[in-house]
Structure 1
Amino acid sequence: MKGILRIKHAKTILAVLVICLAVRLLPYFAPVCAADIAQNQLAMQFSDRNNLPLGTLLTRDQEHTSVIPLNQVSPQFIQAILAAEDASFYQHGALDMKAVIRAMKEAIHAKRIVSGASTITMQLARMLDPVPRTFSGKMQEIWLSWRLVAGMNKDEILSAYINRLPMGGNIYGVEAAARTYFSIPASDLNLAQASFLAAIPNNPTYFNPYEHWERLKQRQKYVLNRMVLEGYISEAIAARTSSEKVVFQSRQQGIIAAPHFLFWLANQIPPTPLEKGGLVSSKEGLVPPKGGLPPFLRGARGDQSVIRTTINRPLQQFVEAQTQQVISSLAANNVHDAAALVIDNHTGEVLAYVGSPDYFNEAKLGRNDGVQALRQPGSTLKPFVYELALEKNLIRPNTILADVPARYAIPGAKLYSPTDYTESFLGPVRVRIALANSLNVPAVRVLEKVGVESFLERLHQLGFEHLNQTPEHYGLGLTLGSGEVSLWELARAYVIMARFGDAIPLVSTFSDSQISTDAINRVSTISNQKIWQLITNILSDNHARATAFGVDSVLNLPFPAAVKTGTSSNFRDTWTVGFTTDYTVATWVGNFNGEPMRQVSGVTGAAPLWNRIMLHLHEHQEPAAFPPPEGLIQLPICAISGLKPTPDCTSVVQEYFYPEDKNNYEAENKFDLPSEYDEWLAKQQRSHLISNNLRILSPHHGDIFLLYPGEAGQQKLEFKLAGNKSAPVEWWLNGEKLNTNSANSLFWNLRPGNWTLEARSGEMKDKVSFQVELASIKPRRRGFSISNSQTKVNHP
């Protein structure tokens, strides 16, 4: 019996040994070789359109990385990193069993994890394939470590490791760190510099040299002590090195201009991670497909290491400097951030791209890219709703729009009552005046005619891909900026406007085929040239915008330029987008953290930056004039009626007409403001806007009022009058003259009956009829009204 048990135990032990041996040998059937994880072509060098260098080495995932052979790394750094991370690297395999046993003993004794047992090979495995810090994750890490050992020798593993070391921020690898922090190659690192760099990877954020110098200094001392213990240096050298002064260069070293653009462009290259032996790695760097970089990322001579961009470096540096100056001038208004984009209208090439005042100022969120960030665009979308309304013949160039108080019912919300920046109303305004002065109420009225769904579809055609909610989500506020767009999208749409509807993608790099990083299918040509020309004519009319912006604002340039400003709610964003025949310039000024600015609008925030850039672009050659709207004719109209002027018209202006509208122009010359103007008219001191006729503004003809029992003498109705009076006003009710000294308004106690109210002034008069009925139910609260059949309850 005992013999049988011994045999069973022996078989069990043998089976376990066979299984362990099989598991340990399996990695050799799926080894990971150096070629499988090679960091090919990670370094990208960028130049501007004239082959002037722009800056640093980048990868698609925005990591500053440079790969060098092991024999080109300072031996002192290799000694430092080995001493700090894995002193017996060359003596053990994938796992250091001594370190594992030691770590387990320390953990049991201290009842917590005191030290780790990760080898350099295991750390490399974690870099290649990050996994959760769980038991199963640890098993995956060990498995990959075995595969690495099966396919690579120690030097190859160490080389792959030091070229992937996280060195703070987006810096990876010893070569990138040496050049970034000290402006020298890794081969030239001295002991002090090497020991500092070897200290960072343990916790790159915690030991950030720019923010936590003292912590890093203590970690350096630890590295030097480890080097002493391993026999690399003496204690005297360690002490001397520890006291040696080491200066870290600014992070800006290596980037000459356009950092946001470079990182954005690097991120546009489609990732192509290698898949070898079942290993899918994306953390070791982004490797281009076989054959090198795509054609559009090659240099002028086919050099794959230099990417020739469309940026104009002198212009880029000018825009960067102006952005910083404008922000400095607005600091007292709680303004901290800005962005700008300059586009060539003829080619779609991006000439300047500024994402923030200072990319390298992390404390002020400098890395945020204001060109690509989504923000509320304010009024910058208004030109597109007017263009669409003109295209659909819902309005004409001479249409008069009502800039008067308006209220819109929104399900589940309060009444929507748009107001203008000045919180005042202009009354009847031409389309030209409404758009040029960015009036809100007329824009909402136009969107109501167009329909939110149709307008949203048009914005998608123009390339506003981030407006991806339902029409109900945006509502009528869409034309005032209730959605979120990027400065890039705005600039692209205005380039279409500048090209009179001819869509073109924005181009960022050069190649033989001039392939763009801006997908062509994101924009559509909108062939209504004469309407785009009319919108351009309005936006470039300095006199038309004078009511809101004055006759000499920063929007007025000494050459033809079309421009539109925008301000989001609570002054969180200000925009200015405009163009000449040659260039489109888009600017944004605001705060990345969402704080409101103090009384800064589009014309005082983003417009000064736009103005400076435009003047600089055309310093040596003025742009051509915009062509007049093709096929339209100009005729004199009355500014109030939009019709052929009559002798009593006080303001005559020129406006464009469609030729087919000329007959109506000749025939129509009588104009009187409809009832939607009544509330506004009642507040105006001058009332010549109703063609010199008297008008009873309240009550309206046909109104029915309810009088509740017991409230006789308490419910009153206000009689309101507007118009030019040639003589004292007389009020007549059902043929009886009312005794009153009031000219424009009086209160009358409601009495049941049918009533005819007449106002007379000399030869002028107006008459309305209304009813007062007894109500059977007492209202629960004052001010309650019944809207059906115009039935109302009035209280003083």
Structure 2
Amino acid sequence: MMGRLTRVGAVLSRTLSAWWARGGRRALKIAGAVLVLPWVLLVVLAVFTPLPPELVRGPESGEVSVVIRDRHGVMLRELRAGDGTRARWVPLAAMGERIQRALLAAEDRRFAWHPGVDPAAVLRAFGQLCVEGRVVSGASTLTQQLARTVRPRPRSVVGKIGEMALALRIEASLSKREILEQYLNRVVFGPGVRGVEAASRFTFDKGTAELSLAEAAALAAMPRGPVLYDPQRGTERLLRRRDRILRRMLDGGLASEAEVAGALAEPLRVAGRGGGLGAPHLVEAVLSGAADRRAGALRGKVSEVTLTLDRGLQREVEVLTQEAVRSLGSRAVTAAAVVVLENATGEILAYVGAPDAEDEARLGHNDGVLALRQPGSALKPFVYGLAMERLGYTAATVLPDVALELPLAEGSYAPRNYDGRFHGPVRLREALANSYNVPAVWAAAALGPERVLERLRALGFLTLDREATHYGVAIALGDGEVRLLDLAAAYAVLARGGTYLPPRAVREARDRQGAALVLGEGDGGAAKGTATAGEGTATAGEGTAAAGVRGKPVRVLDAVRARIVTDILADPQARLGAFGEENVLELPFAAAVKTGTSKGFRDNVAVGYTPEVTVAVWVGNFDGSPMVGVSGVTGAGPLLHGAMVAAARLRPPHAFEPVDPAAIVEVEICSLSGKRPTAVCPHRRGELLPREEVEALGSCDMHEEVLIDRQTGLRAGPLCRGDAVEARVMERYEARLAGWARAAGRPVAPEEMSPRCGEEAAQEGARREAMGVVFPVEGARFVMDASVASVQAIRLRASVPRGARRPRFVVDGQVLAAPEGWADYALKPGAHRVRAEAEGARPSEEVGFSVEE
């Protein structure tokens, strides 16, 4: 046998020698050239292939999707990147080692050694193609797959050569770790999912660093067939490929036997698809910076945002809003909005901008929380609070609710109450609780529109950006456009006892690389350039608004007056006159509430607060069309009630803090005059007053005991005696209220003496009453319009007692006849004094007013 083999070897040797002599050397050189030349050409082509700029610029060059979570980390929704995919960029170091090892085992075990193209894999694939006549396995490396991702090419020989050249170029420009990071963040892992981090969050609801080995292997399987291995279409194929990858990890030394055994036994648990249209209006407001000026605009800066929102409360309020609009559909109501704030932090717990963001017919894309709408009477608490601070008003101060006419540049303004009636003298508590308009306008006129506007801006109403003359005293009735969010924030100031905090919508935000952003660096939006809050408070330009944007609490309201305003708004007995018993504003826990309706019934608002939360509601139509017969209590009121009850389940309410006896005392007052009762006051009640205001309270001067002639019903003079005389407790009104009292049939003491008791006494009775200047009020300021060429005047008005003759005004010594109780006065720049006089009556006190050019 050995001899035979020796002879065969000799024959082969001679044959090869003869072949070599006849040109074999040349043939071998040609074969070598055929094998080497393509690689040389490929390298040359790679040299002239430019590196894609997005691989140079890095992660900031690509768009990422934004994951929105509630305060508990529950995903509300995911805003896809510009290409329509879920995409998140995570540095390689933050991914963890498991996903990297699994991917190398699945796609490219020789990644660390090849130059971008694996010659051994190419030869293997070519040989399998020749033998089998079909493609059995691919030869693409991770680098080639990355090249195909950033520069897609046709599936042809030319396209494959271009892909290989770009892979060589990438390998020459980037490190292996950089290539792996680019691949993991750019390659498609599933339908609409780009990058491993987005795939991990979407599939397992966790980051890549938290993946188990089995989960990492499952994700590593997906780039091979994003649709084929989509777990949402079933997990059987994915599970089989996962297990193959785990075994390859074991064979390649990328995982230990114990690790693989544990991973193979682990079931494949896929998270729910998650992410709906949660809080779409708030998400947009956060990205634009409109909802949280502290955080500023986040659009294009973040990959993840954790909101202050509570998902459970949000969903409940959404349902309540939809039901409220449905129930009011017959009254031409198509929209509503609700915002809930946590008072201690200013955080937004629920935010519904519209009942249905997808309802185009009803303009559902509009955001009622940020829309500029008129708040109606909802601004009155802040007007009265300011009057308490600046004018010495208290909850017991009596204000006139009678016919009032104020001059304006374009005419005159005569406020009317919602119920169409005047109520005469009303204490501030009842005026606010019942939302009477005339007393609020009276208070605003006494303060001046400038002061009122300064206070409102200090409370965060930065959209009131016109001059005070534009709004006038009607600002007290909400004649200016504000955001519902700012209205809620202002009422939260009352809930905190006078401290302002800006609304907060963002708890945490991460940039496009996943690093935490430092909040509080926003530009503040409209916070710039606002006016001062007035004497004794912080300024809005450098104090309230600026500090508020930075998240610092700022005192805006006096704590004592804020507590008294809260007591009024939480007093169901005080609002009985306008709202009756068992109305929707009554809640099963202590709460302060206020409603508002704009002129023309275009807007309803209702605001309520407990020590824990503040809820603000708007009901109306986004196109500005009026509602039909809907007031604050019938429109926004029921929705406020439901939202307050829902919020109370999340933040159980406590009673408001007891008043501080060192600062606030309860004093017995006469219910009519608001002063200390005398022996003849028939009705009394307790009232809260700042301690420093008690001494100035004074005694009741609106009740008096009067001797009446039974026969005539007139005052009994000295000639009426015995059983003919009766002592009655009667009421006495100042001049501006006298007409109302007589028309209302109040028990006003008669002015005239009984003729049975002597003519001289009757004449004396006629002189008991005094004239009164109804308009202008003390301290009124008027501004002349330089653009008006005609004479500019105001109408002086006086109250004239019965029996008085030839009434007149005396202005700076000049007499103006007023036969009907009024006279027109041509305005002159400067300070002026006016009083009213008449025969048979005492002259009025002088009233000062000023005119400016």
The TM-score, its normalising length taken from structure 2, stands at 0.54
User: Residue 56 of structure 1 is aligned with which of 55, 58, 78?
Assistant: 78
1:694 and 2:692 equivalent?
no
User: Residue 768 of structure 1 is aligned with which of 804, 809, 816?
Assistant: 804
- Structure 1 residue 658, shift from structure 2 partner: 3.2
1:44 and 2:74 equivalent?
no
Q: Is contact 2:603-2:619 (8 Å) kept? A: yes
* In 1: Cα distance, 2:758 partner to 2:517 partner: 80
Instruction: Go from structure 1 to structure 2 and tell me whether the alpha carbon gap of 1:308 and 1:619 turns closer, same or farther (over 3 Å shift).
Output: closer
Report the number of matched residues: 520
Match of 1:521 in 2: 546
The within-5 A match list for 1:593-608 is 593-608=623-638
- For 1:578, the aligned partner's letter is G
Instruction: Go from structure 1 to structure 2 and tell me whether the alpha carbon gap of 1:174 and 1:50 turns closer, same or farther (over 3 Å shift).
Output: closer
- Structure 1 residue 727, shift from structure 2 partner: 10
| 1:116-160, Cα deviation, whole Å (9 max, x unpaired) | xxxxxxxxxxxxxxxxxxxxxxxxxxxxxxxxxxx9xxxxxxx9x
- For 2:743, the aligned partner's letter is K
- For 1:323, the aligned partner's letter is T
* In 2: Cα distance, 1:599 partner to 1:734 partner: 52
* In 1: Cα distance, 2:635 partner to 2:756 partner: 51
Instruction: Go from structure 1 to structure 2 and tell me whether the alpha carbon gap of 1:624 and 1:174 turns closer, same or farther (over 3 Å shift).
Output: closer
- For 2:68, the aligned partner's letter is F
* In 2: Cα distance, 1:552 partner to 1:728 partner: 53
- Structure 1 residue 650, shift from structure 2 partner: 3.8
Q: Is contact 1:379-1:438 (8 Å) kept? A: yes
| 1:332-383, Cα deviation, whole Å (9 max, x unpaired) | 0010101111111112111111000011222221111111111111111111
Instruction: Go from structure 1 to structure 2 and tell me whether the alpha carbon gap of 1:363 and 1:322 turns closer, same or farther (over 3 Å shift).
Output: same
Match of 2:733 in 1: 673
- For 2:278, the aligned partner's letter is A
- For 1:453, the aligned partner's letter is E
- For 2:309, the aligned partner's letter is I
Match of 2:370 in 1: 372
The within-5 A match list for 1:290-305 is 293=302, 305=303
- Structure 1 residue 635, shift from structure 2 partner: 1.7
- For 1:582, the aligned partner's letter is E
Q: Is contact 1:333-1:599 (8 Å) kept? A: yes
Match of 1:268 in 2: 289
User: Residue 321 of structure 1 is aligned with which of 310, 314, 319?
Assistant: 319
Instruction: Go from structure 1 to structure 2 and tell me whether the alpha carbon gap of 1:591 and 1:65 turns closer, same or farther (over 3 Å shift).
Output: farther
User: Residue 259 of structure 1 is aligned with which of 274, 280, 291?
Assistant: 280
Q: Is contact 1:429-1:639 (8 Å) kept? A: no
* In 1: Cα distance, 2:275 partner to 2:481 partner: 34
- Structure 1 residue 629, shift from structure 2 partner: 3.7
| 1:700-740, Cα deviation, whole Å (9 max, x unpaired) | xxxxxxxxxxxxxxxxxxxxxxxxx99999999998xxxxx
* In 2: Cα distance, 1:673 partner to 1:591 partner: 45
Match of 1:386 in 2: 384
SS at match of 1:261: helix
- Structure 1 residue 527, shift from structure 2 partner: 5.1
Instruction: Go from structure 1 to structure 2 and tell me whether the alpha carbon gap of 1:536 and 1:768 turns closer, same or farther (over 3 Å shift).
Output: same
User: Residue 443 of structure 1 is aligned with which of 433, 440, 445?
Assistant: 440
Select between 330-339 and 666-675 the one with higher mean Cα deviation: 666-675
The within-5 A match list for 1:21-420 is 35-36=56-57, 39-40=61-62, 42-57=64-79, 66-67=86-87, 254-268=275-289, 287-288=300-301, 293=302, 305-411=303-409, 413-420=410-417
Q: Is contact 2:65-2:79 (8 Å) kept? A: yes
Unaligned runs of 5+ in 2: 1-48, 90-143, 160-172, 174-181, 204-221, 229-272, 292-296, 509-515, 525-544, 549-553, 704-731, 764-799, 809-818, 826-834, 839-853
- For 1:694, the aligned partner's letter is E
Match of 1:101 in 2: none
Instruction: Go from structure 1 to structure 2 and tell me whether the alpha carbon gap of 1:734 and 1:322 turns closer, same or farther (over 3 Å shift).
Output: closer
* In 2: Cα distance, 1:766 partner to 1:63 partner: 83
SS at match of 1:380: helix
Match of 1:743 in 2: none
| 1:679-718, Cα deviation, whole Å (9 max, x unpaired) | 423431x222x4x3438xxxxxxxxxxxxxxxxxxxxxxx
Instruction: Go from structure 1 to structure 2 and tell me whether the alpha carbon gap of 1:517 and 1:673 turns closer, same or farther (over 3 Å shift).
Output: farther
Match of 2:688 in 1: 656
Match of 1:148 in 2: none
1:456 and 2:453 equivalent?
yes
- For 1:363, the aligned partner's letter is A
- Structure 1 residue 664, shift from structure 2 partner: 4.3
- For 1:463, the aligned partner's letter is G
SS at match of 2:499: coil
* In 2: Cα distance, 1:63 partner to 1:432 partner: 59
- For 2:624, the aligned partner's letter is G
Match of 2:294 in 1: none
Instruction: Go from structure 1 to structure 2 and tell me whether the alpha carbon gap of 1:784 and 1:405 turns closer, same or farther (over 3 Å shift).
Output: closer
Instruction: Go from structure 1 to structure 2 and tell me whether the alpha carbon gap of 1:74 and 1:593 turns closer, same or farther (over 3 Å shift).
Output: farther
User: Residue 540 of structure 1 is aligned with which of 570, 582, 585?
Assistant: 570
1:479 and 2:445 equivalent?
no
- Structure 1 residue 34, shift from structure 2 partner: 5.8
Q: Is contact 1:503-1:525 (8 Å) kept? A: yes
Q: Is contact 2:594-2:606 (8 Å) kept? A: yes
Match of 2:588 in 1: 558
Match of 2:677 in 1: 645
Instruction: Go from structure 1 to structure 2 and tell me whether the alpha carbon gap of 1:626 and 1:785 turns closer, same or farther (over 3 Å shift).
Output: closer
* In 2: Cα distance, 1:570 partner to 1:768 partner: 42
Q: Is contact 1:340-1:588 (8 Å) kept? A: yes
- Structure 1 residue 673, shift from structure 2 partner: 1.8
- Structure 1 residue 613, shift from structure 2 partner: 1.4
Instruction: Go from structure 1 to structure 2 and tell me whether the alpha carbon gap of 1:625 and 1:476 turns closer, same or farther (over 3 Å shift).
Output: same
* In 1: Cα distance, 2:290 partner to 2:330 partner: 41
- Structure 1 residue 502, shift from structure 2 partner: 1.5
- For 2:622, the aligned partner's letter is F
Instruction: Go from structure 1 to structure 2 and tell me whether the alpha carbon gap of 1:436 and 1:269 turns closer, same or farther (over 3 Å shift).
Output: closer
SS at match of 2:429: helix
Match of 1:614 in 2: 644
Q: Is contact 1:507-1:516 (8 Å) kept? A: no
- Structure 1 residue 509, shift from structure 2 partner: 2.0
SS at match of 2:370: coil
User: Residue 469 of structure 1 is aligned with which of 433, 452, 466?
Assistant: 466
* In 1: Cα distance, 2:635 partner to 2:659 partner: 31
1:635 and 2:667 equivalent?
yes
- For 1:255, the aligned partner's letter is G
**Over aligned residue pairs, what C-alpha RMSD do you find?**
4.8
Unaligned runs of 5+ in 1: 1-27, 83-88, 91-150, 152-158, 164-172, 191-251, 271-281, 294-304, 696-724, 736-758, 760-764, 773-781
SS at match of 1:398: coil
Instruction: Go from structure 1 to structure 2 and tell me whether the alpha carbon gap of 1:74 and 1:375 turns closer, same or farther (over 3 Å shift).
Output: farther
Percent of aligned positions that are identical: 34
